[in-house]
Structure 1
């Protein structure tokens, strides 16, 4: 939040408050004790450091001399770690033997170094022994560790197992199947069976995850494959198995990605067959907004009747990893007091590229003016709010000693920080904000 002295004399206002309760929205300011020359500014700065997954909100108030202003904040915490795959089939393994290992990979998908706490992960019963190299590790961005499991059947016949493990309290569930003994063994081993793609921006496509089909018999195999496509377009896939002859130990792959068409949790299931044997695959992911829009509220302060104020900008940024060509609609403010323009329509946005909606304030009569408009990016609506007043209105006499008339203007009324990674142990997070102010000598 930027406070600017719009008067023509030095001003030394008293600032009080501004801290947001809890730890989600930490802030700082350089205003207290400052003497502001005409045109000089100071700032209240906030961040979003989510303590948990999901939406978070906060509010606070601050006073400039005798005027009070309210600040509102919102953001959404997302997981900094991706754990996949989560379901494994070890096929047939002889009693007294142990299968080849299968691996759960845990990756730091945030942009910060993290030192999380791990707990759990052991499978009860002894049929699925495991190990891990994650505990006590500090993860650079993109760095991974593994939970490794094997199948060591203690009895003949089908065997199932399950476990949970936690990363800083966030649970991941794992499931395991295998068959003890090799009588009437399936010639093919299919694994993994369940996949978590984590958070992905709408319009982007995730890295691939793979189902591996291996000939575990001692003979050449020329099976028939059928099915495997996931309904809808959220989990596109392809395979290199059909028509293949498999030597013993040879493999092929079904490859899937996550390309969310909308926001929110998405789950799908598909089946495929190898000859007469049917297999089920499960997929999950979470679509998140690819665009960050901020601020959402603008205060223009004072302007003379019939004259345009300096412009203020709403910035739209592509925060995804893909180039996007969205459709924009709306954005004009009814009434003519807040004229605007934009350079967004028809634009292709590279990752981190931005455009602007530009607005100004032009009062046509004396008074305080409010304006609201909506605009949509690919059908998702955002609401913008505007305030301003004519410069002919006198400040409250108890707030500004005559003859000086000093106005302190706060810019950036509502900022939206969008999605940020949930903090683990030593990891900070980010956030979003809004505020409103009363009319007077010092205004927000």
Structure 2
């Protein structure tokens, strides 16, 4: 085998180098190569088809290759096993031909080579992410390319894709010896917001002839600070108290905002819940509180100023509020008097509540004490703004008679937390009209004369009544002393007169009908009486003549007393002369109308001469 040893020298790792070797049969006999044995995994032989027979003097070319997988010196050998055939011969003493003779042999050729690392380009970092870069500014990141192989390489070109990306600090062509590096920078200068990707592609004669470095970045708008709400109105806040409202700060831009300072101006305003310095990433929010604690009444304005490195470095949040005096609840009227209300009926009175203070008042409860009282028209809780009023009704519906006192207690958050309205009323039974006599009997009354009796009216109920009419029926009856309308309070009485004045004889009846608003709306008083004609007494004869009567003796004459018209009662009789005496009757006596009674008159003269006299009946 020629050459007798094969040396490959330096061969780049990952490549294959092939050398030729000539195999020659330099003997006089044929030989057959049966096997090629390679010692060393990085070496190989090719171009031979086994078994291969070479006649004497014949040559063949084989290829020997070296493929180093790694750097470093490597050695081995290639051994060829062959057999030489020698023909038989007719030598003396052998008496004829003999068979061919064979001889086995091996030829070995040493091989060697060195694997070397070819030039290879690597980038550190392998990709570049520039993150968020504010529009109108630029961001730069260093990149190093290094020849990690053992042979020099030449960088011929660097191309950049992606809007806004650029490469600086790389002068081409550039030769890098084994292990040598070169730094350069990649810059991103966005003109619009949004994510951008690109690459830096480096062309060289390295084993990786095109090295691509991925690029990414995001163009962002500048950080901007906004507040929600943009202003705070606290409305009316009672002096000595406080109200707190929340504000949210948001970075509406694309880059981080750093808040360095907050300042609250205006009496009574303060800020809490914001620890500084504070960084807000793009889109991030932070809430804090603003408190208004007025010490005096009146409108107060203020401001929260927030200082940061945002595009709006000073953010102002206007503040407004009013300190107000505490709400005060006033009632009108301060007490309610229902007077007298009939049991079973009801009476309602209106009450007005007014917030006379400077802040709203919330009424939470209305508590009523006292039997028969109730509240309506007040829906709770009820809120009254400063100066506002509301009306409601209080009703008194007594279930029994008698005076009742009570109160409505209104509970609120006013400075006078409990307002009490006093209530009073009297439950009363209905008025009742009664008469001292339900019947008036006048007896007998002479015609054309009159007699009067007293009648007393009394209100025996619990409420005032009014007598409006008095109607009298029946001939000869009348009333006097009753002026209408007549009002009688509970328990009060009034006396008037009832008269019977008959104009004809005979029995008479009638009524007095009194109309009022009492529970017994009509009171009737019965009347009765009898008209009588005046009796007439007559005597017959009307004169008595005794003639002559001896002195010392007596003479009797009889007369008849008669009654006409009506009965006549004779109660006495008198004479004008003692010489005349009346006998035969006892006083008093009554002569029925149309009847007569005899009487005897005796004349007893005491002296001579004419005597005269009269008898008078009463």
Q: TM-score, normalised by structure 2?
A: 0.21
Q: Which protein, 1 or 2, shows the higher relative CO under an 8 Å CA cutoff with sep ≥ 6?
A: 1
**Which has the larger Rg?**
2
Q: TM-score, normalised by structure 1?
A: 0.28
Which one has the bigger strand percentage? 2
